[in-house]
Amino acid sequence: MIGKFSTFYVGHVDWENIGIEGKPVDGRRYSNEHLISAFGQAMVMARSMDFWGYDTLWLAEHHFQHEGYGCVPNILMLSIHLAHQTERVRFGCAFNIAPNWHPLRLAEDYAMADILTGGRVTFGVGRGYQTREVEAFGSPLLDAEANRDLFEEQVETIMKAFNEESFSHHGKYYNIPPSVPYRGHELKEITLVPRPTHPVEVWQPIVSSTPRGMDFMAKHGMKGILTWSDEMGEDRLVKYRDANAAQGRELELGEGLCIAFSVYLDDSREKAMRAARPYFEENMKIYAPLHMVTGLTDEQIKSLAGPLAASTTDLPTVEEAAKSHVWLCGSPEDVIADLKEFQEKYPGVEHISVNSAIGTPGTVILEQLERFATEVMPTFIPPESRGDTPTRP
């Protein structure tokens, strides 16, 4: 049953001229002063979510995004800062891109965040999906098999570091520790200092849902974040459940997962779809060329590079996304009904992330968070069950 609500913030800044007929993605370049406004946006979101009783603000790691699409290169540093400005909201890593890190540095940094925030940071790792980010750090992404091999060895190393008082790891990519002399003896094992002091949940995005990927998650008891898709959503829920069953872990369908929806509230479905349209279109412009939007042809993807071609090409619409409940657009009563229907079908799902699409202005994000918290959330989580209310932002 639904009992937690969260939201994602990928670290985007406010833009001008968005939507299909707006500025091309590659035409955006902003000053350093504007790019760092993402930190202030994260702060006001965290304080608002703290007050309204949200569970987690999920943050994304991105690098070199001069277009302003993702401006937070270190989500652990930001999470520590935000935790010290709030009282109870959690901060989730969605995700630390493991190939951009040495696994021991990532383990050390997370352990410090866990300790300094009193356990309010949730660990999460991903393989990366942008060549400019991953390959620039000297790690593979174009070679998908090498990327998967590296990622799995990194996670194996991090798990040992978190859970064993001393450990060693000798694999294809890492030799930890190397056989070197240390204080008169040959080094055989090392200890992560410090180690986390709270139980570590490890989350990963579920994208391709290959047997190898699902089996790896289940082997390590990892939880998953899944952006909902009517075409593949239930199939991925089943694969996750079955992979865990093979490890002796019996789960309800949807248990252990956070399901993410794009949500836009207005007085009616028609008004909500009309208001959300430019954000839907900008989101498609950003992610389609990165092969993060399913079902598009090469011609459709190519057309999104410029407003003239895009405006004359048959492309997916927000109306279609809303009809299939991939985007939840409508009045609070409409969205409540959509979520109740989802909950009835998948009672194992506890955690729902209600997201504003990338491109949504900061003021609109805050309005949507407040409206959802006051007009939708109480149906699922009574205010009195959320504990003492933090100071109003």
Q: Which two tokens stand for residue 241?
A: 């459940």
The dihedral formed by the CA atoms of 363, 367, 368 and 374, expressed in degrees to the nearest 10: 160
What pLDDT, in 10s, does the model give residues 157-167? 999 999 999 99
Q: Is the pLDDT of residue 52 over 90?
A: yes
Question: Cα–Cα distance between 263 and 273 in angstroms, integer?
Answer: 10
Residue 310 binned pLDDT confidence (cut-offs 50, 70, 90): confident
Higher pLDDT, 118 or 324: 118
Q: What pLDDT sits at residue 388?
A: 67
Q: Is the pLDDT of residue 180 over 70?
A: yes
Per-position DSSP letters for 297-325, written without gaps between them: -HHHHHHTTSHHHHHTS----HHHHHHTT
Q: What pLDDT sits at residue 233?
A: 87
pTM equals 0.96
Q: Which two tokens stand for residue 110?
A: 């997370």
| pLDDT, average across residues 118-124 | 98
Q: In this prediction, what percent of the chain has a pLDDT beyond 90?
A: 87
- Amino acid identity, position 233: G
Contact 379, 372 (CB under 8 A): no
Q: Is the pLDDT of residue 317 over 90?
A: yes
Q: What pLDDT sits at residue 320?
A: 92
Contact 101, 154 (CB under 8 A): yes
Q: Is the pLDDT of residue 389 over 80?
A: no
What pLDDT, in 10s, does the model give residues 350-372? 999 999 999 999 999 999 999 99
Q: Is the pLDDT of residue 49 over 90?
A: yes
Q: Is the pLDDT of residue 295 over 90?
A: no
In b/e form, how buried is each residue of 252-279, taking b as 16+ CB within 10 angstroms?
ebbbbbbbbbbbbbbeebeebbebbbbb
Residue 386 binned pLDDT confidence (cut-offs 50, 70, 90): low
Higher pLDDT, 88 or 308: 88
What pLDDT, in 10s, does the model give residues 204-258? 999 888 999 999 999 999 999 999 987 788 999 999 999 999 999 999 999 999 9
Q: What pLDDT sits at residue 268?
A: 96
Q: Tell me the C-alpha to C-alpha distance, in Å, between residue 212 and each of 169, 218, 251.
A: 21, 10, 19
Domain map (residue ranges) of the chain: 4-381
Q: Is the pLDDT of residue 306 over 90?
A: no
Residue 387 binned pLDDT confidence (cut-offs 50, 70, 90): low
| pLDDT, average across residues 364-388 | 90
Name the class of domain 4-381: alpha beta
Mean pLDDT of the chain: 95
Q: Is the pLDDT of residue 385 over 80?
A: no
Q: What pLDDT sits at residue 101?
A: 98
Q: What pLDDT sits at residue 2?
A: 96
